[in-house]
Structure 1
Amino acid sequence: MKKLVLINAIVWATIILVASYLFRDVANYKYFFFVLIFSAGLMNMLISKYAAKTVKVRCNK
């Protein structure tokens, strides 16, 4: 699952860099950039939360 989180982070970083280069002259660039950052954070949070549910605890009770 760590691999999935890492790949997701790299993909979002690439999307943010490419979009910031392509849309730098757009009037609402600040809002667009904020939405991208928020979306990336939300996606990583959801993947991490799902991964935490699937991990088994290795403690003896």
Structure 2
Amino acid sequence: MKKIILINAIIWAVLILVASYFFKNDPNYPYFFGILLVGFALINGLLSTYAKPGLKSKCR
């Protein structure tokens, strides 16, 4: 499960960097960037919650 969390974090980091490069001149970029950060926080939080040892039965 730790590999999945690491891969997820790398994918989100690449997505944020690519979006920053392509959408930096867009007037709504701060909102888009905020949505990406909130999305990363939610997904990473959910994955780390399910990675705890007591919750392995929910990972299947």
Q: Same fold (TM over 0.5)?
A: yes
Letter in 2 for 1:54: K
Structure 2 portions without partners, runs of 5+: none
* Residue in 1 that maps onto 2:29: 29
Q: Considering fraction of residues, name the structure with more helix.
A: 2
Larger Rg: 1
Q: How many residues align?
A: 55
Runs ≥4 residues deviating over 3 A: none
Relative to the length of structure 2, the TM-score reads: 0.87
The DSSP-based 3-state class of the residue aligned with 1:48 is: helix
Q: Structure 1 residue 5 and structure 2 residue 33: aligned? A: no
Please report the RMSD computed on the Cα atoms of aligned residues, expressed in angstroms: 1.2
Relative to the length of structure 1, the TM-score reads: 0.85
Identical residues among aligned pairs (%):
53
Higher relative contact order structure (alpha carbons within 8 Å, sequence separation ≥ 6)? 1
* Residue in 2 that maps onto 1:54: 56
Distance between the aligned counterparts of 2:56 and 2:18, measured in 1? 33
1:51 shift after superposition: 1.2
Structure 1 portions without partners, runs of 5+: 56-61
The DSSP-based 3-state class of the residue aligned with 1:40 is: helix
